[in-house]
Each structure stands twice: as C-alpha cells, then as structure tokens.
Structure 1
Amino acid sequence: MLTKLKNYPTTVNLLLSASLILTLSRAITLPYLVIYLSGSFGLSIADIGLVIGSTLIIGSLLSLYGGFLVDKTSSYRLILWLSCLFTLGFLGTFLARDLWLFYSCLVLINLTYAVIDIAVKSGFGSLLPVTGRSEVFSIKYTLTNIGYAIGPFLGASVAKIDISLPFLFSAGLGAGFFFIYFVWGDRNLGATDEARKPSPFLSVGKLLLRDYRLVCFTLGGLFSAVVFGQFTAYLSQYLMVTTTPESTYRIISTIVATNALMVIGLQYSIGRKITNRHLNLWLAAGLGMFMMGLAGFALSTSVPHWVISMAIFTIGEIIVLPAEYMFIDRIAPDNLRGMYYGAQNLSNLGAALGPVLCGIVLATQHPHYIFYMLALFIVAGGLFYLAGASNLRVATGKGLIDEPQ
C-alpha cells in the first residue's frame, strides 16, 4: 500500500489525507459522545439517541445537495471552505454551554464531513482510470479505519485532563488539514466547464430516482447502516444500561480498536477479491457475518467475548462497504458522480436511525431486544442489495449500459 501511495500524484494523496485526518478528528470524540452528553447536559439514554441520530439525519439529507455542489463547483474551493466549517464546528462544541448550540455544531460537523467525503470519492473518479479506482477506495477505507483505531485512544488520553478537551483537539486537526490543503491543494480540481449549463438540483434528483439500481442500493444501504453505521453509539447506549460507565469506556475503546485494526489488516487483501461478477454472494456473506456478530454481542459477558463478536462483525463490514463503493462507481455517469455519491450517503440516514431506535427500545423494552430489531434491518437491507445487484450496469460518458453478472 505504501508503494502505491508513493506512485499516486500529490492531488490523490491529499484527498486520501482528508479521509485520514478528518476521520481522526471525528474518532477522537465520537465514542465518548454518549457519556459527554449524559454528564454535561444531563440527557437520558433516549434523548442522547435522539440528539446523535437526528444530527446525522440532518447532515445526511443536506449532503445530497452537497453532492450537487461537488458536480457544479470547484472541488478545491469547496473542500477548503468545508474544512474550515468542520474546524469551526468542533471549536463550537468545545465552547458550547447550551444544548442547542452544541446540537447545531454537531449538525455542521456531520454535514461538512459527509460532503468532503463525496468530493474525495468524486475526485478519485476524475483523477484515476476505472481500473485504479477500486484500489484507491480500498486504501481510503484503510486510512479511514486507521483514524478510527487511533482516535479513541487519543481522545481517552486528552479526556483524562478535561472531558471537553477532545473537541478542541479535533478542531486543531481540522485546522491543520485546512492549512495543508490551502498550500498544496490542486486549484484546478473539479473545475467546472463554463460552456455547460448546469441542470437544476430538482431535475437531477428526478433523474436519480429513475435509476432503479441506485434506488435499491441506497435503500439497502439505509437499512443495513442501521446496524453497522453507528455501532459505537448504540453499543455505548446498551452498555450504559447494562453495565457501569467505567465498563462502557473499557469495552467501547477495545472493540473500536478491534474493528479498526482488523479492517487495516484484512481489508486490502479481502477487498481486492470482491468483484461485481459475484457481488450477490459477497453481499450475502457480509450480511451473514453481521448476523453472527449481533448474536455474539447479545451473548457477550466479558471483554474477550466482545472482541470475538466484533471481529466477526468487522468481516461483514470489510465485505459490504467496499462492495457499495464499487457498485456506485460502476453506475455513476462522469458528470453526476457527486450526486450519485450523495445519494449513496443517504444510507447514513440508517446510521442516524440506529441510536434513535435503540434508545427507544432500551427505554421501553428489555435491553436484548435491540439485537432482534437490528437483525430485521439486516434482512431488509439484504433484500434491497440483492435486487440492486441483480444486473449491474457500467457508466459510460453518455449514460449507462447493462452488464450481466
């Protein structure tokens, strides 16, 4: 992987650095957000789930328009402005003493992170040939998980001084990326063709709705993301109800690191074997691993049990997420990549619903019921995935053509 990074142009490496640095910023604070909201604002488990989930929902919905902007404007300027707002969002969470202000900053962080991610993936499509994109997606995914592996430990170290300091640390990382990209970023990246009249946002949205495979994969991603999108949040909620805050810290830190380290170690070797020709089988295998992981979570009574369950769960993640990227890249026309990746980001609505739904279940039912509910979402997501992958189409410069499996 390091050899490949050396061979990439500076622009590609800068886009990859965005995934690493900005993910690290989020990972420093995300695993401890449940405890921070409980301690600093006195929120209940259900209210915490509502706060975390609704900020993700708002950010995901608005990111669809962000994808439209990626297709319409200069990616250099867009990434620069968004990284600035990302930094201000974390600075705001550090300074906020009112819940409404803290909430607004969380929305800003989630929105800017989502749109930068769209711009990064769209940038890969414009900078690299089709044959090189699956590999760069694998590297991006690995770097993202390096951020998630390191972040919680950095956050835990800083939080020992003061529980709000991780937010300031994250703001500093965001500011560092802003400076790097301002100095070395490609000012011509994503430059628009002035002769081409941009289509209105709603017209492009209607075009996307007519793409059956995109709709199916978006819905499949939405339902399955309830399970894997924000597992740290709903597992933190579950552990807060069933164990002590100290145990929650210890278990969450360990399983987040397990998840990230397994992805770093296995994703590249497994991900490069995933092909569109056998996408249905890969997806079925990945979703089956999610099921087994959930069963393990429900039965876990010690840290080693949680680690084993997370290892199984992570294999499902290693399979499903790269398959999503590959599918969208194959069907997206060059002039609509931002919108297609923006539509894929709507699957984050599922990730947002996870903490909300689990918070409601934990407040009203036996704690183990959340795993039954999550299993049903895996089944629903799998049905939509298989429907969307039944007959792949590849993107051409002018449109889409069928490619049978």
Structure 2
Amino acid sequence: MLAALKRYPRSVNLLFCATFVLTLGRAISLPFLVVYLSSTFGLPIARIGVIVGGALIAGSVLSLYGGYLTDRLSSRGLILGYTACFIAGFVGMCLAADLWLFFGFLVAFNFAYSAVDVVVKASFGRLLPAQEQGRAFSIRYTFINIGYAVGPFLGAGLAHWAPKLPFVVSALLGGGFLLLYLVHGERSQRPAPTGQAPVAFLALGRVLLDDRRLVCFTLGGVLSAVVFGQFTAYLSQYLVTTRSAEAAYEVISSVVAVNALVVIALQYPLGRRIDERRLETWLLAGLALFLAGVIGFALSTSVLHWVLAMAVFTLGEIIVFPAEYMFIDRIAPLRLRGMYYGAQNLSNLGGALGPVLCGWVLASLPAHWMFVMLGAFVVAGGVFYRLGAALPAAPRQP
C-alpha cells in the first residue's frame, strides 16, 4: 500500500488524508454522543436514537446537494468549505446549550462528512485511470477503518478528562487538515467542461430517477446497508435480548476488534484485485459472504463462533464497498459523478433503519427471526444489484 501511495500524485494523497483525518475526528466523538446527550440534556435512550439517527439521515440526504455542487465547482473550494462546516459542527456542539441547536450542528457535521466523501470518490474518477480506481477505493476504505479502529480509544481517554474534549479534538483535527489543504491543495481541480448547459438541481432529480441502473444500485445499497451499516447495534440488541449485557459487551468488543483487524490486514491486498471487468461477480461474491456471516451469527454459541462469523462477514465488507463504488463510477455520466455518488450515499438510510427493524423483530417475534430478516435483505439487495448490472448501458452524458 505504501508503494501505491508513493506512486500517486499529491492531489490523490491529499484526498486520502481528508478521508483519514475527518474519519478519525468523527470516530473520536460519535461513539460518545449517546453518553453526552444523556448526561448533558437528560434524554431517554429512545429520544437519543431519534436525534442521532435523524442527524445521520438528514446529513445523507443533504449530501445529494453536495454532489450537485461537486459537478459544478472546484473540488478545492468544496473541500475547504465542507471542512470548515465540519469544524463549525463540532465547535457548535461543544458550545450549544439548546437541544435543537445541538441537533442543527450535528446535522451540519454529518452533512460535511458525507459531502467530503462524495468529493473524494468523484475526484478518484477524474484523477485516476479505471484500472487504478479499485486500488484507490480499497486504500480509502482501509484509512476509514484505521480511523474507526483508533478513534473510539482516543475518544474514551479524552472523555475521561472532560465530556466536551472529544468535540474539541475533532475540531482541531479538522482545522489541521484545513490548513494543510489550504497550503498544499491543488488550485486547478475543476470539473472538466462538457460544452452543455448546466442542469438545475431539481431537474437532476428526474435525471437520476430516469436512470434505472442507478435506481437499482441505490435500492440494492439501501437494502444491503440494513445488514452491514450498523451491525454492532443490532448484534448488541440480539445479545442483550437473548443473553445479558455482560455477554453483549464481551462479544461486541471481540467482533469489533476482529472486524477492524481483518479490514486493515486484507482490504488493500484483496481490494486491489477487484477490476472493472468482473465487478458483478465480485459484488455477488461479497454479498454471499455477508449471507454466510449472518448465518454464522445465527448459529453462534461461543465467542469463538462469533469471531469466526465476523471474519467471514468482514470479507464480504472488504469486497462490496470498492466494487459498489466502481459500479457507480462506471454508470455515472461524466459530468454527474458527484450527484451519482450523492445518491449512492443514500445507502446510509439502510444503516439507520437496521437497528429499528431489528428492534421491532426482537420485540414481536422469536429472536432468530432477526437473522432470517437480515438474510432476506442481503438476498433482496443482491437481486437489485443484479438487475442494475443487467440493464443496458446509457451514453456517458445526461
């Protein structure tokens, strides 16, 4: 991976830096939002879930407009602007005394993180040849997982000193990257001119809906994200329901560690082998591994079984993420990459929906039906991916 990073131009390495630094800032603070909201505003768990989940959904939906801007403005200006919004979100959360003001800053931070993600992914398509994109997406995802592996431990130590300190450090990380990019960021990263008149944002909604491949891939992403988006949340719900809080803590801490280790160790070696010619095969193989992991969870009776099932599940994660991004880049019209990646970000809605659906199943049906439901979502997601891949390609223009 280090050899590949040395080979890439500075503009691409700065995009990797944006991914890692902003993910680390997010991972430092996000796991402690529940504790902070409970202790500072005295909220019950149910209302905290609405606040955190609602902010995640709002940020993902708003990133559609971020994608629209990505196709029209320079990536330099957008990255600087979104990073400033990221910083403002954490500063605002640190200072806000009113719950709805806090929620507004939480939405701003989630929007900024999702919008930077859109700019990074769209820029890979402009800056790198097709044969390099799978490698770049795998490196990017490796950095994301390193951030999520390290961030919560840093956040725990910071929160021990002061409840607001994770927000402060996250803002400082964003500020450090802002200065770095201000000095070293490319000043000529503008979308390539297409010779066509710009399309209004609302009109682009019709363009996106008319692309049946994008609709199928987005639905496939939403359905499969129910399974992999927030797996720690629904596994915790299952374990608390069927065993105890102590058992849940032991299993979840083990599977999170395995997930991070497998991704960091294998994401780049495996992900770089994913190529454009066999994307559909790779994607379906990844979904099959997701399904095998879910079946493993359902049959697990010991921590070792949970760990082995998570290793299989994580292999699916390693394959699906870069393959999904490469599919979107392949079908996106040249001047609408940002909008298409913004639409793909709507898969976060599935991640937010997963714990809600699993909680409903656990409350109303025997616990094992949760895994039956998750397996059905994997299969349904695979069906939509297959439909999208089978549809004829459209010309590379809107």
Asked if Structure 1 and Structure 2 have the same fold, meaning a TM-score greater than 0.5 normalized by the shorter chain, the answer is yes
Instruction: Give the residue type in structure 1 aligned to 2:208.
Output: L
Instruction: Give the residue type in structure 2 aligned to 1:284.
Output: L
Instruction: Give the residue type in structure 1 aligned to 2:4.
Output: K
Residue aligning to 2:80: 80
User: How far 1:71 moved relative to its partner?
Assistant: 0.5
Contact 1:153 1:253 in 2 (8 A): no
User: How far 1:246 moved relative to its partner?
Assistant: 6.6
Distance 1:101 1:361 in 2: 34
Instruction: Give the residue type in structure 2 aligned to 1:378.
Output: V
Residue aligning to 1:22: 22
Q: Tell whether 2:139 aligns with 1:139.
A: yes
Distance 1:356 1:172 in 2: 34
- Residue 72 of structure 1 aligns to a residue whose secondary structure is coil
Instruction: Give the residue type in structure 2 aligned to 1:147.
Output: G
Residues 362-392 of structure 1 deviation map (CA, whole Å, 9 limit, x = unaligned): 5555655433332222122111011112257
Q: 1:202 to 1:175 in 2, by over 3 A?
A: same
Contact 2:134 2:323 in 1 (8 A): no
TM-score by length of 1: 0.88
Residue aligning to 1:208: 208
Q: Structure 2 matches for 1:140-219, cutoff 5 A?
A: 140-190=140-190, 193=193, 197-219=197-219
Contact 1:50 1:355 in 2 (8 A): no
Residue aligning to 2:316: 316
Instruction: Give the residue type in structure 2 aligned to 1:285.
Output: A
Contact 1:45 1:363 in 2 (8 A): no
Q: Structure 2 matches for 1:215-364, cutoff 5 A?
A: 215-238=215-238, 251-300=251-300, 303-362=303-362
User: How far 1:223 moved relative to its partner?
Assistant: 0.6
Q: 1:45 to 1:371 in 2, by over 3 A?
A: farther
Contact 2:130 2:276 in 1 (8 A): no
More displaced stretch, 207-216 vs 289-298: 289-298
Distance 2:145 2:130 in 1: 24
Q: 1:373 to 1:169 in 2, by over 3 A?
A: farther
Contact 1:56 1:351 in 2 (8 A): no
User: How far 1:276 moved relative to its partner?
Assistant: 4.2
User: How far 1:97 moved relative to its partner?
Assistant: 4.2
Contact 1:5 1:13 in 2 (8 A): yes
Q: Tell whether 2:383 aligns with 1:387.
A: no
Contact 1:46 1:360 in 2 (8 A): no
CA RMSD for the aligned pairs?
A: 2.7
Distance 1:364 1:55 in 2: 27
Instruction: Give the residue type in structure 2 aligned to 1:381.
Output: G
More displaced stretch, 190-199 vs 117-126: 190-199
More displaced stretch, 125-134 vs 291-300: 291-300
Q: 1:90 to 1:326 in 2, by over 3 A?
A: same
Q: 1:92 to 1:250 in 2, by over 3 A?
A: farther
Q: Structure 2 matches for 1:49-68, cutoff 5 A?
A: 49-68=49-68
- Residue 71 of structure 2 aligns to a residue whose secondary structure is helix
Distance 2:13 2:362 in 1: 43
User: How far 1:336 moved relative to its partner?
Assistant: 0.9
Distance 2:69 2:292 in 1: 40
User: How far 1:248 moved relative to its partner?
Assistant: 5.4
Contact 2:216 2:384 in 1 (8 A): yes
Contact 1:24 1:150 in 2 (8 A): yes
Residue aligning to 1:403: none
Give 5+ residue unaligned stretches, structure 2: none
Q: 1:306 to 1:157 in 2, by over 3 A?
A: farther
User: How far 1:129 moved relative to its partner?
Assistant: 2.1
Q: Tell whether 2:90 aligns with 1:90.
A: yes
Instruction: Give the residue type in structure 1 aligned to 2:197.
Output: K
Contact 1:45 1:237 in 2 (8 A): no
Contact 1:20 1:147 in 2 (8 A): yes
Give 5+ residue unaligned stretches, structure 1: 400-405
Distance 1:274 1:392 in 2: 22
Residue aligning to 1:113: 113
Distance 1:143 1:40 in 2: 32
Distance 2:47 2:370 in 1: 16
Q: 1:231 to 1:94 in 2, by over 3 A?
A: farther
Distance 2:170 2:297 in 1: 30
Distance 1:300 1:97 in 2: 45
More displaced stretch, 184-193 vs 314-323: 184-193
Contact 1:330 1:395 in 2 (8 A): no
Q: 1:154 to 1:115 in 2, by over 3 A?
A: same
What is the aligned length? 398
More displaced stretch, 7-16 vs 156-165: 156-165
Residues 206-235 of structure 1 deviation map (CA, whole Å, 9 limit, x = unaligned): 122221211111100011111112223434
Distance 2:250 2:167 in 1: 20
Q: 1:178 to 1:158 in 2, by over 3 A?
A: same
More displaced stretch, 371-380 vs 121-130: 371-380
Distance 1:257 1:392 in 2: 42
Distance 1:292 1:215 in 2: 26
More displaced stretch, 353-362 vs 11-20: 353-362
Identity %: 58
More displaced stretch, 60-69 vs 43-52: 43-52
More displaced stretch, 96-105 vs 64-73: 96-105
More displaced stretch, 80-89 vs 283-292: 283-292
Contact 2:76 2:185 in 1 (8 A): yes
